[in-house]
């Protein structure tokens, strides 16, 4: 089931589109980026030097890698995650779920294989792109950026956590459309909860409301915080004042909320009639 | 030994997640299916036929009652290793071809990959899809999908095969092939549980049937038991009735029809039958043959349903 779901995920049109974009970006980088031998502090893209960035105190490589990292996450969110969000509801369709449940397979096994298969479809695409970028920068610029390479782990972890929400919503609604919509809403809520002290708190100055937002923040995977932290392992951008250092805490909190959501999903799935 | 034994199996569905009122789908259904027989479950739409199969395969959970399948209680994973299932309106991933579909479901049945490919090819040949093995299933017609579904249900050499409308969408030649296949499987010892609306087909291949209506068992029996009208006889005469014998027969006050050279009589008991034979003999009319009148399963089913629904 796991392998089948990975193949199904990879064949989703949106993920194929993401793969095509990844290849175009990698091709442009491979062809365009270079590191003139006589000017070691300058990186050029299609002949245009990025020296100006280094003049204002930016590490050019870190800056480029952070931008590529953020771009990749944005694209995978739009084309990848929302593409595979329908995999849980599609498994529950009449005529499909009957076949799967009639096989000697525990419901928990079936659900987890499906969820992890879907996330693996995303992960394989991300790993492909990140490894490609890392190799291009290593080979053409001479910078083998270990931080960028290790950020893959955090990004994939964040998507595994995020998919626990998608799985739960998919099981309850049984609708691909609703699941995609609610996954999108959750990604916005996650950002809102992350900056709640400067945003949502100000809507209503009430302690109960504030504690409710805090509880929601800790009880759901901290997608935004995890993705932000995954960029911090690459480097710091000096134009963001007081940027916090990398912390494992969102990953730790999200581990528990993710486990809780997957357990709830398994419990719900095991009790349902199809 | 029984392949399936259910004791007062009951299923009530909840109308919605937030409402408590229940919709009864099955009410205390007790059915026994012998190993090696072809058993038919009949009933109008909504009678609970599909729910019954889903309960056996733990696709839905029972409200009450118990069952054993191949000696295992409901819900045991090992039970499903010995079962094959062709659901109604089954759907396969359109991006897979027939071979990959069978490999997928074979793997889900814990079969080893080495044996699986040859097994899949032989099944595709059996259901007449060998030439379509590498064509994506999204290009298949309904009948072809039904054949693929049958191959999928057989991938694990099941001891117990559940088929929900197996010939739905299949042309007459294909239907005949499927019937022959099922009879062949029966000869090999497979127990077959058949849900079908096509009563003529059920009549042709089933050993025993149960008729369900509104979630309750209405009748159970062999095809012969259900289609034989015990107190109606067809008497084939060797010569036409005489005027005297006609009058004497009318005096018995039994419903008697005369068609060609046949007398169709409905009697209260065997003494009535003997009376008729005596009248015929006394009139010098020879009797070529005498048989119990049979009705088709369809007629019997309609008769039962009319009776049930008029209650």
ipTM: 0.79
Q: Which residues pair with B84 in a beta bridge?
A: B161
* Residue partners of B264: CB distance under 8 A and separation at least 6: B232, B233, B234, B235, B256, B257, B258, B293
The alpha-carbon gap from A104 to the nearest alpha carbon of chain B, in Å, equals: 5
Joined together, the tokens standing for residue B13 give 């569905």
Q: What is the pLDDT of residue A252?
A: 93
Within chain A, where are the H helices? 2-10, 13-32, 51-55, 60-75, 82-84, 87-91, 97-101, 107-136, 146-173, 176-194, 200-203, 207-219, 223-232, 249-271
Compute the distance between CA of residue A89 and CA of residue A67 in angstroms, rounded to an integer.
34
Decide if A116 contacts A137 (C-beta within 8 A).
Answer: no
Decide if B97 contacts B42 (C-beta within 8 A).
Answer: no
**Chain B contact for A20 (CB, 8 A cutoff):** no
Q: By mean pLDDT, which of A34-38, B100-104, B297-301 is the weakest?
A: A34-38
Name the more confident of B12 and B1.
B12
| Count of domains for chain A | 1
**At residue B70, what are phi and psi to the nearest 5 degrees?**
50, 35
- B105 with A103: Cβ contact below 8 A: yes
pLDDT band with cut points at 50, 70 and 90 for residue B306: confident
Containing structural domain, residue A191: 2-271
Compute the distance between CA of residue A61 and CA of residue A42 in angstroms, rounded to an integer.
10
B63 → chain A, closest CA residue: A273
Compute the distance between CA of residue A224 and CA of residue A162 in angstroms, rounded to an integer.
10
- B57 with A94: Cβ contact below 8 A: no
- Average pLDDT, stretch B124-141? 90
Write down the residue that tokens 């049979």 correspond to. Answer: B294
Compute the distance between CA of residue A268 and CA of residue A258 in angstroms, rounded to an integer.
15
Q: What is the pLDDT of residue A3?
A: 82
Residue in B60, B89, B162 closest to A273 by CB: B60
Compute the distance between CA of residue A170 and CA of residue A93 in angstroms, rounded to an integer.
11
Decide if A190 contacts A165 (C-beta within 8 A).
Answer: no
Compute the distance between CA of residue A100 and CA of residue A185 in angstroms, rounded to an integer.
30
pLDDT tops 70 at residue A41: no
Q: What is the pLDDT of residue A15?
A: 78
Q: Which residues pair with B22 in a beta bridge?
A: B14
* Separation of first and last alpha carbons in chain A: 19
User: Which value, in Å, is the radius of gyration of the alpha carbons in chain B?
Assistant: 25
Joined together, the tokens standing for residue B30 give 């007790």
Contacting A residues, span 71-130, partner chain B, CB-CB under 8 Å: 93-106
A92 → chain B, closest CA residue: B91
**At residue A221, what are phi and psi to the nearest 5 degrees?**
-60, 135
At the topology level of CATH, where does B230-297 sit? Alpha-Beta Plaits (3.30.70)
The alpha-carbon gap from B6 to the nearest alpha carbon of chain A, in Å, equals: 18
- Assess whether the region B2-225 and the region B230-297 belong to the same CATH fold: no
Residue A140: count of CB within 10 angstroms of its CB: 16
Compute the distance between CA of residue B118 and CA of residue B100 in angstroms, rounded to an integer.
12
Q: By mean pLDDT, which of B83-92, B291-300, B302-311 is the weakest?
A: B302-311
Joined together, the tokens standing for residue A259 give 């486990």
Quote the DSSP letter at residue B238: S
- Average pLDDT, stretch A125-150? 89
pLDDT tops 80 at residue A65: yes
Beta strand B191-195 with B160-164 is: parallel
Compute the distance between CA of residue A187 and CA of residue B299 in angstroms, rounded to an integer.
61
Decide if A85 contacts A176 (C-beta within 8 A).
Answer: yes
Chain A interface test: which of B83, B93, B111, B142 (most A C-beta within 10 Å) = B93
pLDDT tops 80 at residue A176: yes
Record the pTM: 0.81
- Average pLDDT, stretch B168-188? 88
Nearest to A91 by CA among A181, A194, A1: A1
Decide if A69 contacts A151 (C-beta within 8 A).
Answer: yes
Q: What is the pLDDT of residue A55?
A: 63
* Residue partners of A175: CB distance under 8 A and separation at least 6: A89
The alpha-carbon gap from B111 to the nearest alpha carbon of chain A, in Å, equals: 11
Grouping H, G, I as helix, E, B as strand and the rest as coil, residue B290 is: strand
- Average pLDDT, stretch B55-83? 92
Helix A60-75 to helix A13-32 angle (10° resolution) is 160
Name the more confident of A66 and B161.
B161
Size of interface A-B (CB pairs under 8 A): 66
Q: What is the pLDDT of residue B17?
A: 64
B157 burial class (0-12, 13-18, 19+ CB within 10 angstroms)?
middle
Decide if A94 contacts A28 (C-beta within 8 A).
Answer: no
Length of chain A: 274
Residue in B88, B104, B109 closest to A104 by CB: B109
Decide if A226 contacts A196 (C-beta within 8 A).
Answer: no
Grouping H, G, I as helix, E, B as strand and the rest as coil, residue B116 is: helix
- Average pLDDT, stretch A74-100? 86
Contacting A residues, span 172-211, partner chain B, CB-CB under 8 Å: none
The alpha-carbon gap from B58 to the nearest alpha carbon of chain A, in Å, equals: 7
Decide if B144 contacts B132 (C-beta within 8 A).
Answer: yes
What's B2-225's CATH class?
alpha beta
Chain B interface test: which of A100, A104, A106 (most B C-beta within 10 Å) = A104
**Chain B hits for A15, Cβ within 8 Å:** none
A133's torsion region: left (phi>0), alpha (psi -120 to 50) or beta? alpha
The alpha-carbon gap from B194 to the nearest alpha carbon of chain A, in Å, equals: 16
- B95 with A97: Cβ contact below 8 A: no
Q: Where are the domains of chain B?
A: 2-225, 230-297
Q: By mean pLDDT, which of A137-151, B100-114, B271-285, B295-309 is the weakest?
A: B295-309
- Taking the CA atoms of B38, B69, A102 and B136 in sequence, report the sign of the dihedral they define: negative
- A104 with B81: Cβ contact below 8 A: yes
Residue in A96, A98, A102 closest to B80 by CB: A102
Q: What is the pLDDT of residue B295?
A: 75
pLDDT tops 60 at residue A273: yes
Residue in B13, B54, B90 closest to A95 by CB: B90
Decide if B10 contacts B63 (C-beta within 8 A).
Answer: yes
Within chain B, where are the H helices? 49-56, 77-81, 98-108, 113-126, 142-154, 172-187, 199-205, 223-227, 243-251, 270-282, 297-310
Grouping H, G, I as helix, E, B as strand and the rest as coil, residue B34 is: strand
**Chain B contact for A16 (CB, 8 A cutoff):** no
- Those residues of chain B whose CB sits closer than 8 Å to some CB in chain A are 13, 54, 57-61, 77-81, 83, 85, 87-93, 95, 104-105, 108-110, 152, 162
Residue in A8, A98, A106 closest to B87 by CB: A98
- Average pLDDT, stretch B38-60? 92
Residue B126: count of CB within 10 angstroms of its CB: 16
Q: What is the pLDDT of residue A107?
A: 94
Taking CA B101 as the corner, what is the angle to CA B98 and CA B103, rounded to the nearest 5 degrees?
110
**Chain B hits for A97, Cβ within 8 Å:** 59
What count of Cα atoms within 13 Å lies in the side-chain half-sphere of residue B293? Answer: 18
Burial B62-77 (b: 16+ CB within 10 A, else e): bbebebbbbeeebeee
Average pLDDT, chain B: 87
- A95 with B87: Cβ contact below 8 A: yes
Compute the distance between CA of residue B246 and CA of residue A111 in angstroms, rounded to an integer.
75
Compute the distance between CA of residue A48 and CA of residue A125 in angstroms, rounded to an integer.
29
């Amino acid at each position: 089931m796991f392998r089948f779901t990975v193949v199904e995920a990879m064949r989703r049109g949106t993920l194929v589109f993401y793969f095509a974009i990844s290849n175009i970006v990698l091709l442009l980088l491979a062809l365009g980026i270079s590191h003139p031998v006589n000017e070691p502090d300058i990186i050029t893209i299609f002949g245009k030097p990025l020296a100006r960035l280094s003049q204002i105190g930016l590490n050019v490589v870190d800056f480029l890698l952070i931008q590529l990292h953020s771009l990749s996450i944005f694209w995978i969110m739009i084309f990848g995650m929302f593409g595979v969000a329908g995999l849980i509801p599609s498994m529950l369709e009449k005529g499909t779920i009957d076949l799967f449940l009639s096989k000697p397979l525990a419901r928990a096994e079936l659900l987890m294989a499906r969820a992890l298969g879907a996330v693996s479809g995303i992960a394989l695409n991300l790993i492909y792109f990140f490894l490609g970028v890392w190799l291009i920068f290593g080979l053409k610029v001479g910078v083998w950026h270990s931080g960028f390479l290790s950020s893959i782990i955090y990004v994939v972890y964040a998507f595994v956590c995020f998919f626990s929400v998608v799985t739960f919503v998919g099981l309850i609604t049984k609708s691909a459309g609703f699941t995609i919509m609610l996954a999108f809403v959750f990604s916005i809520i996650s950002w809102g909860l992350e900056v709640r002290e400067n945003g949502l708190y100000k809507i209503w100055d009430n302690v109960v409301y504030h504690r409710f937002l805090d509880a929601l923040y800790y009880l759901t995977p901290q997608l935004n915080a995890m993705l932000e932290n995954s960029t911090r392992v690459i480097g710091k951008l000096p134009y963001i004042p007081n940027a916090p250092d990398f912390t494992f805490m969102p990953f730790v909190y999200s581990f528990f909320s993710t486990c809780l959501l997957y357990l709830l999903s398994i419990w719900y799935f095991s009790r349902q009639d199809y | 030994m029984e392949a399936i034994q259910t004791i007062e199996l009951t299923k009530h569905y909840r109308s919605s997640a937030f409402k408590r009122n229940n919709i009864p789908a099955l009410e205390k259904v007790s059915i026994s299916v012998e190993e090696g027989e072809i058993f038919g479950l009949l009933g109008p739409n909504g009678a609970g036929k599909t729910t019954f199969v889903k309960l056996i395969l733990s696709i839905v959970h029972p409200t009450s009652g118990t069952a054993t399948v191949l000696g295992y209680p409901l819900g045991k994973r090992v039970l499903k290793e010995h079962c094959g299932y062709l659901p109604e309106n089954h759907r396969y991933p359109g991006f897979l071809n027939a071979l990959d579909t069978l490999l997928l479901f074979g793997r889900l049945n814990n079969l080893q990959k080495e044996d699986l490919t040859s097994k899949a090819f032989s099944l595709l040949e059996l259901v007449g899809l060998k030439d379509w093995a590498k064509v994506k299933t999204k290009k298949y017609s309904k009948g072809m999908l039904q054949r693929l579904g049958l191959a999928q249900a057989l991938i694990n050499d099941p001891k117990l095969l559940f088929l929900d409308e197996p010939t739905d969408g299949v042309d007459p030649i294909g239907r005949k092939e499927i019937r022959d296949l099922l009879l062949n499987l029966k000869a090999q010892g497979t127990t077959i549980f058949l849900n079908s609306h096509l009563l003529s087909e059920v009549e042709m291949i089933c050993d025993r049937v149960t008729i369900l209506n509104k979630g309750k068992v209405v009748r159970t029996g062999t095809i012969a038991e259900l289609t034989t009208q015990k107190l109606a006889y067809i008497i084939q005469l060797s010569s036409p009735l005489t005027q005297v014998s006609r009058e004497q027969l009318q005096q018995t006050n039994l419903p008697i029809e005369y068609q060609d050279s046949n007398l169709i009589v409905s009697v209260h008991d065997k003494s009535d039958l003997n009376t008729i034979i005596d009248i015929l003999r006394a009139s010098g009319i020879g009797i070529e043959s005498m048989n119990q009148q049979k009705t088709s399963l369809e007629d019997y089913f309609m008769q039962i349903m009319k009776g049930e629904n008029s209650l």
